[in-house]
Structure 1
Amino acid sequence: MIRTPEGNAAAPTLMFAEAAEAADVVARQFERNADIVAALASALGHAPPRFVVTCARGSSDHAATYAKYLFETRLGIVTASASPSVGSVYAVPQRLDGALFLAISQSGKSPDLLRNAEAARDGGARVVALVNVEDSPLAQLADTVVPLHAGPERSVAATKSYIASLAAIAHLAALWSPQPDLRNALPALPAALREAWRIDWTALADGLVDARNLFVLGRGLGLAVAQEAALKFKETCGLHAEAYSSAEVKHGPMALVGPGFPVLCVAQPDETEAGTIALAQEFRTRGAQVWLASSHGDLRLASSPHPALAPLLAIQSFYRAIESLARRRGFDPDVPPHLNKVTETV
């Protein structure tokens, strides 16, 4: 049971229960996907793609942001996001010979993703599907399927399936890269996720109960966290939030940050960390209401077995806080207004 701000007992939401499963999901995924990912990584190592194209929508597209930064920093392979509309609406063939086309989807049913995956396959790309529904149309047309193994996810707000997507991307990058450090860190990830779930970010929920808008900032590998957090603020809390790179926000948007303006900064523990922390301090000097998630901040982050895995831990702690905030603002995070679990776009 969880408690409302008034102290009355309330049944756990589906979002709470499903987010709490993330550690078990990742452990199960690593075990079941060991042979699939090893074979795919070996094939990619022997015949490296010329470039990587990702294709996804919503939370899955935020996972694609993580893939971009992880593949580019660990493997040096240019990774770009394809606009699904180019293939599904404009119907313009793309030159993808020798590319890796990575489609990410929970349901594997959206018509635009299917059309783009078909076009990529016809254009000469190797199509890999990261998908939760293993018998979905997307899985059936892919050259390789990497199942997410998240199990049924009934809450409209994706949680464990998003973390499962990040974990599958990390698993592939770790085995594809000749450097062993990330590969050696993977077994410790489920325990770190359990620690992240126990971390208390109540201060964030306390400060945003009456908020109307905010910025969420991250950078590099951590940008995927900022994007996903901003989406969750909107869909579960009715709170307008915009995600920015902590570098990009300086190019115009930071003019909005003044006294009382809420800003959530998530510092990725790598070469980008110092800049994000400095920006948080700059905003504080302007009187902004700032929360800094870092080892040096007021929102604690779980200890990560590898810097590249830190985004999974940050979003896990965030999910617990955002579920609480949604209820405190009078929303049911399982049933956001006007939204469906499976969104099929053309």
Structure 2
Amino acid sequence: MSPEADVRESTLMLREAGEGGDAVTRFLSANADAIGALAMHLRTHPPAAVVTCARGSSDHAATYAKYMIETFLGIPTSSAALSVASIFDAPVSGGGNLCIAISQSGRSPDLLATVEAQHVAGATVIALVNDETSPLAGMADHVLPLSAGPERSVAATKSYITALAGIAALVAAWSDDADLRGGLQALPAQLKQAFAIDWSTALPIFEADRSLFVIGRGYGLAIAQEAALKMKETCGLHAEAFSSAEVRHGPMTIVGPGFPVLAFATSDEAGDDVRSIVSQFAERGASTALVAAHDGTLAALDAHPALQPVLMIQSFYRFANALSLARGMNPDLPPHLNKVTSTR
């Protein structure tokens, strides 16, 4: 990319996304002792179930938490419907559960109501939150500050990356998985490499369109959800995220010649299924862009399969910024949105 392009594309979103590696370094350093102690507690007092509380990008991080906790630890993990507490004021049962709340601001009323309901029911609350002074941090039993630093662009980037890394760090310590621990040590430097990857060859696929599918599976489903959200809010595109399994049911009927598909394939069996559905769509004449470490049309770094999505979304943020500008939009100021969304 030329220096002129760097200047032209130097939005807040681009600069903040580029800080992902440094943010993860800060998180891992600041929270190492707390995560170690928390992991020891969870091993000796394992919860019957895990409930996640989040909205928006943070809820996509919660999807990642579900796959990480269930595959590495075998503990059922589900996302709380926040309206159950904030609108219906329904009681919560299930003392002994673990509640993981994920938020940038830690201030949304429905999130706080849900966490309070979980706490009253006897759940242990862990908060992954970027604002250590927030009400969420104050009500949690254990706080893991994201340490991402201020985000001024409406589109969350480095805080999402740090939330993913935080979940991976907690699961690595809790499960005592040596390979995942080793992958996390390399992650900050790899994030910087991932941010330098150029996907501009895929701009023509999405630049003039209105709708697309974003596909992932397993660990990669969380970033398919996040990429679809960013396509909506920064690029004005109607993007829907699907598991490569779920898209085979009803949604795949609308994929035909020229239909845009962005897919994220990890280096595991889940990624193989993503490759399979992308091949089917390509045979129909769809315009496909496959992100994969060894065989993708868009390059990705190799890493532990559970960490590859973190690197892929880092590369995607640069691409989303470029696509937004190519479509004549400002990724820092999406229409009708504010940085902090307060939902009841």
TM category, shorter: over 0.9
For structure 2, the residue ranges without an aligned partner over 5 or more in a row are none
| Kept after mapping to 2: 8 A contact 1:280/1:292 | yes
The residue number in structure 2 matching 1:80 is: 78
Change (3 A) 1:319 1:2: farther
Partner-residue secondary structure (3-state), 2:75 = coil
Whole-angstrom distance in 2 between the partners of 1:301 and 1:8: 21
1:17 correspondence with 2:6: no
The residue number in structure 2 matching 1:29 is: 27
Equivalent positions of 1:1-346 (< 5 A) are 9-10=7-8, 12-294=10-292, 295-304=294-303, 306-346=304-344
Q: Once the two structures are aligned, what percentage of the paired residues are identical?
A: 57
| Kept after mapping to 2: 8 A contact 1:53/1:101 | yes
The AA in structure 2 aligned to 1:43 is H
| Kept after mapping to 1: 8 A contact 2:9/2:321 | no
Whole-angstrom distance in 2 between the partners of 1:142 and 1:34: 18
Kindly state the Cα deviation for residue 2 of structure 1 after the two structures are TM-superposed: 7.0
| Kept after mapping to 2: 8 A contact 1:2/1:11 | no
Whole-angstrom distance in 2 between the partners of 1:150 and 1:344: 21
Change (3 A) 1:280 1:100: same
Whole-angstrom distance in 1 between the partners of 2:319 and 2:271: 22
CA deviations 1:260-292 (Å, max 9, x no partner) are 000011102212121111111110110000011
The AA in structure 1 aligned to 2:335 is P
Change (3 A) 1:9 1:162: closer
Whole-angstrom distance in 2 between the partners of 1:66 and 1:54: 11
| Kept after mapping to 2: 8 A contact 1:199/1:302 | no
| Kept after mapping to 1: 8 A contact 2:216/2:271 | no
RMSD after superposition:
1.3
TM-score by length of 2: 0.97
Partner-residue secondary structure (3-state), 1:307 = coil
Partner-residue secondary structure (3-state), 2:51 = strand
CA deviations 1:127-159 (Å, max 9, x no partner) are 111000001000000000010000000000000
TM-score by length of 1: 0.97
Whole-angstrom distance in 2 between the partners of 1:273 and 1:328: 30
Spell out structure 1 runs of 4+ moving beyond 6 A. 1-4
The AA in structure 2 aligned to 1:85 is S
Whole-angstrom distance in 2 between the partners of 1:136 and 1:327: 33
Change (3 A) 1:116 1:8: closer
Partner-residue secondary structure (3-state), 2:240 = strand
For structure 1, the residue ranges without an aligned partner over 5 or more in a row are none
